[in-house]
Structure 1
């Protein structure tokens, strides 16, 4: 059986996360799939329903909740995902040489980016870009590794002339969230989506009328349920490099894509504005020479 610590393919990671919130009937279907994904691929929907003592409708609701069009679509995507996983063992092992480890670390980063793009809600992403383009101010919050992602987002947005501020201290971001206005955007970064302070800040921001964008992991976490727009990320992990380390690359790319999309939406004004800023920096460097 695939466990939480296994190098799960992205679809199975989503099932694993959903298992804790599923009802009894849906939970039996999830357990059956996780127990032996290869065997599951050979089952019809009727056989799966009979084996798990559920109904066809329960199975259909499960795969649709994961974003698939139907049972066959889910099986096709799972089959492809398993094929990719079989081709490469990305987990770092105790006996690995340095040259092997560096390859696995880079491969893991690539998998994180591909998985995140595969499961990205493009409508939510476009809506987040639109919200930023209309905003007066963008606040970014995060703790630990997520705080580093938020700080990078502040630098990325500030370069484009967006009023941005990153907060990594709970007392500061709770206060800042409560003072936001309806024209503001809060970008909350939390891979687990379960950090009490981050979720509390997101709820405070919603109460002010601000738009809340969540950068979080797969699954319907408390943060995902609170946000207006949720951008999920996914990454493999092992005992040496947990998921939260690998997922940083995907979250940074999501923010980069968001601000790049904002830049493009503001053309040609934005390029002219950045050109003026570049001229100012050149003049400063010339004066310092």
Structure 2
């Protein structure tokens, strides 16, 4: 399966829009081609039968059937974990194991989607940033708060507002040299899209972290970093996506920390010493 994923990632930059949509869908969920007919895959990816056939030939196959068989063989032979749904009769330990498998598969799939050039560009932008602001709603706001705290320890100005009006206010104060990191799984949240539009109008650089599919957020972003999910949760509460988002931002954060010549490590050590004030020292401490 890894060989097919590498081939897909290699081809994506050279593909026209319709064929690129097919490649991106298969990167995120390679089982799609095994479960769908040619017409169904065309509808799912908003492409056409002809576009998919052209894409199959660029992948080195004579047509859809041959490529479908190649994906089926790869999936059967791969070491990809089987992600199972959560059921009422499951024990807590059963659920723990299922969540573990889901998270591991999500992280593995997200790495397969990683574009080296996009990540390097994102790090370079963050290294030069005058300020870094995080925008997200719902549970993605919690991820924003975590990394605002992390980057804040380095002495980098920024924000992670949760109120929609406050997000618009922060976005309106951005300008060239400032960075807006937008976290939105679907890329369709009205709140973050409004903030992204304002930040874009002000000349800020926008980095988005989202799933690989068409969305309004991608059109507003300068750099797009994609996540994948293999989730076990009931309904639409896709908890595994937060694991991927945290991995992506942790990688950016650590890269900025070790590459910067602005003394971030020294600032981090200084902040850590300050945090010691919040720790109890001895029985008599009040």
The answer to whether 1:134 aligns with 2:128 is yes
| Alignment pair present for 1:235 and 2:229 | yes
* CA–CA distance in structure 1, aligned partners of residues 222 and 151 of structure 2: 20
Quote the Cα distance in structure 1 between the aligned partners of 2:180 and 2:56: 31
Q: Does 1:59 align with 2:63?
A: no
Cα RMSD (Å): 3.6
SS at match of 2:239: helix
Q: CA distance change for structure 1 residues 126 and 255 in 2, over 3 Å: closer, same or farther?
A: same
**SS in structure 2 at match of 1:167:** coil
Q: Indicate conservation of the 8 Å contact 2:34/2:72, yes or no.
A: no
1:275 aligns with 2:264: no
> Is residue 102–residue 230 contact of structure 2 (8 Å, CA) maintained in 1?
yes
Say which of 240, 257, 266 aligns to 1:263.
Answer: 257
Q: Distance in 2 between matches of 1:35 and 1:284?
A: 54
Give the Å deviation of 1:268.
8.1
Classify 1:89/1:254 alpha carbon distance in 2 versus 1 (closer, same or farther; 3 Å).
closer
Residues 33 and 71 of structure 2 are in contact (CA less than 8 Å); yes or no, is this contact kept in structure 1?
no
* Deviation of 1:135 (Å): 0.9
The correspondence for 2:140, drawn from 114, 121, 146, is 146
2:153–2:267 CA contact under 8 A, matched in 1: no
Return the alpha-carbon distance in structure 1 between the equivalents of residues 181 and 154 of structure 2: 17
How far the C-alpha of 1:35 sits from its partner, in A, is 6.7
CA distance in 2, matches of 1:173, 1:62: 41
User: Over residues 225-258 of structure 1, what are the superposed CA-to-partner deviations in whole Å (9 max), with x where a residue is unaligned?
Assistant: 2100011111122452646311001101111111
Higher mean C-alpha deviation, range 142-151 or range 269-278: 269-278
- 1:70 maps onto 2:59 in alignment: yes
Q: Where does 1:39-118 land on structure 2 (aligned, <5 Å)?
A: 54-55=49-50, 58-59=51-52, 62=55, 70-71=59-60, 79-81=73-75, 83-84=77-78, 88-118=82-112
Instruction: Measure, in 2, the Cα distance between the counterparts of 1:163 and 1:77.
Output: 47
5+ residue gaps in structure 1? 1-9, 12-20, 41-52
What is the rounded CA distance, in whole Å, between the counterparts of 2:91 and 2:175 in structure 1? 53
Q: CA deviation at 1:99?
A: 1.9
Q: 2:212 aligns with which of 218, 230, 236?
A: 218
* Alignment: residue pair count: 246
Shift of 1:264: 1.1
* Structure 2 Cα separation of the partners of residues 77 and 167 of structure 1: 43
Distance in 1 (CA, whole Å) between partners of 2:123 and 2:209 is: 13
Give 1:105 shift.
0.8
1:283 CA displacement: 7.3
With over 3 angstroms needed to count, the CA separation of the structure-2 counterparts of 1:22 and 1:94, relative to structure 1, is farther
Partner SS state of residue 244, structure 1: coil
SS at match of 2:160: strand
Provide the C-alpha distance between the structure 2 equivalents of 1:264 and 1:78, rounded to a whole number of angstroms. Answer: 42
Q: 85-94 or 258-267, which moves further after superposition? A: 85-94
